[in-house]
Amino acid sequence: MIILGIDTSCDDTSASVLADGRTVLSNIINSQIKLHHVYGGVVPELASREHIRNIAPVVDEALSKAGIGMDQLDGIAVTIGPGLIGSLLVGLYYAKGLAIVRKIPLVGVNHLEGHVLSTLLEDDPPEFPFVALTVSGGHTSLYHVKGLGQYAPMGQTLDDAAGEAYDKVAKILGLGYPGGAVVEALALTGDKDKIRFPRAQISPDSLAFSFSGLKTAVSMYITKWKQSEKQSEVRKEDIAASFQEAVIDVLAQKFLKAAENANVNTLVLAGGVACNKALRQRLTQEADARGMKLYYPRPAYCTDNGAMIALTGHYRILRGERLDHADDVRSRYPIEEIMGSR
């Protein structure tokens, strides 16, 4: 079965062709980073207009790179939420048009389910059950994943997402948008123990996250630091490394606790922040020390991509699911509201 997966949930236009739910024949991503960079964040209306420009060429490229003609597609999977409404609509209506003309099945996919399943695209995929931590610009959530379509939420952020905190710190440090990779690069040569930023705990047993206090603490520190005469004693690199250490500490502690609570030995890390090498290393060490195993996808499947949507759509199409003509996009779409989740 050959599935075309389309994701236009935020600022990337992506399309992928997936064969038999396993082989990624192509995965094309057109990033809008340059467009939004000057604004320090994604501007929704500009994003939708850019998706309109990019969607047809990106799908064409995905098909030609895969060596697949439009007539060879067996189905189409498209993200219907959560995300920016104007952006999602472009993907949905393009996919609808194609599916109607080609007379092939169309299925709507939850973007979060795509991230949770993204590691299944790798050669050594994790086995169910596992605990997944999805960390991106919009989400920081823990799920007990019992099987395909079975996702029990265990904890999520009460305010900002981890990626959002990275983006905010990068903005204050004048490093542009998005901030994750730049802050990580800066942190490489910094002293992570130089400043002790707060680690929000909520309560000892809670699996909920909170990053807004950390963001504010870093912001206040930088304001004072800029005015200080002793600026040379602490470098930008030290601030980046100390901030990153605070984020990693909290993510690691709650991720491992969630695995213990769920009584599983398999951990799955996904979403844009999962590209972070320091986070991967720390989680791998901590998992190894407990006889657990950590899985994460390659960077191209961590950030938004069509391949994870094609994969999710593949098994949903096999289950007989189809998008109804009345189905619409959703800006909020908790994973527990998808069909087959419990």
Where along the sequence are the contacts to ligand KG4 (CB under 6 A)? 10, 136-138, 163, 166-167, 178-181, 184, 271-273, 275-276, 303-304
- Binding partner selected for residue 137 from ligand KG4, Zn ion, none, CB under the kind-specific 5 to 8 Å limit: ligand KG4
DSSP character for 119?
G
Query: Smallest distance from the beta carbon of 226 to ligand KG4, in angstroms?
Result: 23
Helix (H) or strand (E) holding 3: strand 2-7
Query: Smallest distance from the beta carbon of 12 to ligand KG4, in angstroms?
Result: 7
Please give the structure tokens belonging to residue 205: 């047993």
Give 88 or 218: the residue with its C-beta nearer to Zn ion: 88
Give 155 or 272: the residue with its C-beta nearer to ligand KG4: 272
**Which parts of this chain interact with Zn ion (CB under 5 A)?**
136, 304
Strand ranges of the sheet holding 266-270, from the earlier edge strand across to the other edge:
150-156, 140-147, 130-135, 266-270, 293-295
Give 210 or 276: the residue with its C-beta nearer to ligand KG4: 276
Give 110 or 136: the residue with its C-beta nearer to Zn ion: 136
Core vs surface per residue 31-42: b (16+ CB within 10 A) or e? ebeeebeeebeb
Q: Token pair 């395909």 is at which residue?
A: 148
Give 54 or 242: the residue with its C-beta nearer to Zn ion: 54
Question: At how many degrees (to 10) do helices 180-187 and 277-289 cross?
Answer: 70
CA–CA distance, 33 with 17 (Å, rounded to integer): 23
Core vs surface per residue 149-180: b (16+ CB within 10 A) or e? bebbebbbbeebbbbbbbbbbbbbbebebbbb
Query: Smallest distance from the beta carbon of 167 to ligand KG4, in angstroms?
Result: 5
Query: Smallest distance from the beta carbon of 248 to ligand KG4, in angstroms?
Result: 10
Residue 146 in 3-state DSSP?
Answer: strand
Query: Smallest distance from the beta carbon of 165 to ligand KG4, in angstroms?
Result: 8
- Binding partner selected for residue 167 from ligand KG4, Zn ion, none, CB under the kind-specific 5 to 8 Å limit: ligand KG4
Contacts of 51 (CB under 8 A, 6+ apart): 8, 13, 87, 90, 91
CA–CA distance, 100 with 112 (Å, rounded to integer): 26
- Binding partner selected for residue 140 from ligand KG4, Zn ion, none, CB under the kind-specific 5 to 8 Å limit: none
Give 43 or 181: the residue with its C-beta nearer to ligand KG4: 181
- Binding partner selected for residue 181 from Zn ion, ligand KG4, none, CB under the kind-specific 5 to 8 Å limit: ligand KG4
CA–CA distance, 168 with 173 (Å, rounded to integer): 9
Give 24 or 239: the residue with its C-beta nearer to Zn ion: 24
Task: Assess contact for 323 and 108: CB atoms under 8 A.
Answer: yes
Q: Token pair 């709507």 is at which residue?
A: 108
- Binding partner selected for residue 163 from ligand KG4, Zn ion, none, CB under the kind-specific 5 to 8 Å limit: ligand KG4
- Binding partner selected for residue 266 from ligand KG4, Zn ion, none, CB under the kind-specific 5 to 8 Å limit: none
CA–CA distance, 337 with 333 (Å, rounded to integer): 7
Give 32 or 136: the residue with its C-beta nearer to Zn ion: 136
- Binding partner selected for residue 43 from Zn ion, ligand KG4, none, CB under the kind-specific 5 to 8 Å limit: none
- Binding partner selected for residue 301 from Zn ion, ligand KG4, none, CB under the kind-specific 5 to 8 Å limit: none
Q: How many residues does the chain have?
A: 342
Query: Smallest distance from the beta carbon of 322 to ligand KG4, in angstroms?
Result: 25
Query: Smallest distance from the beta carbon of 296 to ligand KG4, in angstroms?
Result: 12
